[in-house]
Structure 1
Amino acid sequence: MKNSLDESKPIFLQIREQLEDAIINESIKPGERVPSTNEFANYYQINPATAAKGINALVAEEILFKRRGVGMFVTEDAKEILIKKRKQTFYENYMLPLKAEAKKLRISLEELREMIDKGGYE
């Protein structure tokens, strides 16, 4: 868990993103238990309902599942679901505006590819 929360973004979104990042970078693996709403609440000194809102959103997307009386766990397909979702978000937030601006500036597809390659991608 991060040491502190960012005041510019809703807390439940930050908790959700922390869990998503941990699943994508495999610090939490499929089948592993995630921190509970109470653990998040105690750690960040927040209302458990706030933490639950972030966690429940991941349950609704089948990223997490609940084992009654035990806790929340990562589904087998969680990482793939998250990567697919984030790729779509990346496309919408970055690629579409990039393409629109390139069109305004009359940058050809070839020039755009050269610009991307120029930046280096490892």
Structure 2
Amino acid sequence: MKSALDSNRPIYLQIKEAIEEDILNGRLAPEEQIPSNSQLVSHYNINPVTVLKGINLLVDEGIIFKKRGLGMYVSPDAPEKLKRRFSGAFFQEHVEPLTALAKPLGFTLREIHEMIDSAWKGEKK
């Protein structure tokens, strides 16, 4: 879980995004129970209705599901659903701008691949 929330953005969305991030990073696995509403309320010191609003968005999207009397759990296909959703945004926010900058500078696709490979490995240029 994130340690702090950003006061400039709706808190319920930040709760939703924190859980999504935990799923994508493997901190929450498919079929694993997510923190309870009361745990989230206590951790972030926020209103229970705010937590519920973020949780309900995840339920509506099929990312988590409720086991009656037990709590909320990560859906079996949640990581794949999230990856598909974020891949489009990633392409628009990062890949398209990268290519828009690289082409006028004369970089070849091979050079871009090499740069990405170096960055992936943590190498500095």
Q: Which runs of 4+ in 1 moved over 6 A?
A: none
Residue 120 of structure 1, CA deviation: 4.5
Partners of 2:31 and 2:117 lie apart in 1 by 38
Residues 47-97 of structure 1: CA deviation (Å, up to 9, x unaligned): 122112221121122110112333211111111212222222211210011
SS in 1 for 2:72: strand
Counterparts of residues 96-115 of structure 1 (less than 5 Å): 96-115=96-115
Partners of 1:120 and 1:67 lie apart in 2 by 39
Contact 1:37 1:49 in 2 (8 A): no
Count of residues in Structure 1 that have an aligned counterpart in Structure 2: 122
Partners of 2:11 and 2:55 lie apart in 1 by 11
Contact 1:67 1:73 in 2 (8 A): yes
The match for 2:2 is 2
SS in 2 for 1:65: strand
Partners of 1:109 and 1:95 lie apart in 2 by 12
AA partner of residue 35 (structure 2): P
AA partner of residue 43 (structure 1): H
Residues 5-56 of structure 1: CA deviation (Å, up to 9, x unaligned): 2224322222112211222232222222212333312321211221122211
Partners of 1:104 and 1:51 lie apart in 2 by 46
The match for 1:83 is 83
Q: Is it true that 1:33 corresponds to 2:57 in the alignment?
A: no
The match for 1:117 is 117
Partners of 2:113 and 2:2 lie apart in 1 by 36
SS in 1 for 2:30: coil
Moved more, 2-11 or 75-84: 2-11
Contact 1:5 1:11 in 2 (8 A): yes
Identity of aligned residues (%): 44
AA partner of residue 7 (structure 1): S
Q: Structure 1 unaligned runs (5+)?
A: none
The match for 1:14 is 14
Change (3 A) 1:62 1:117: same
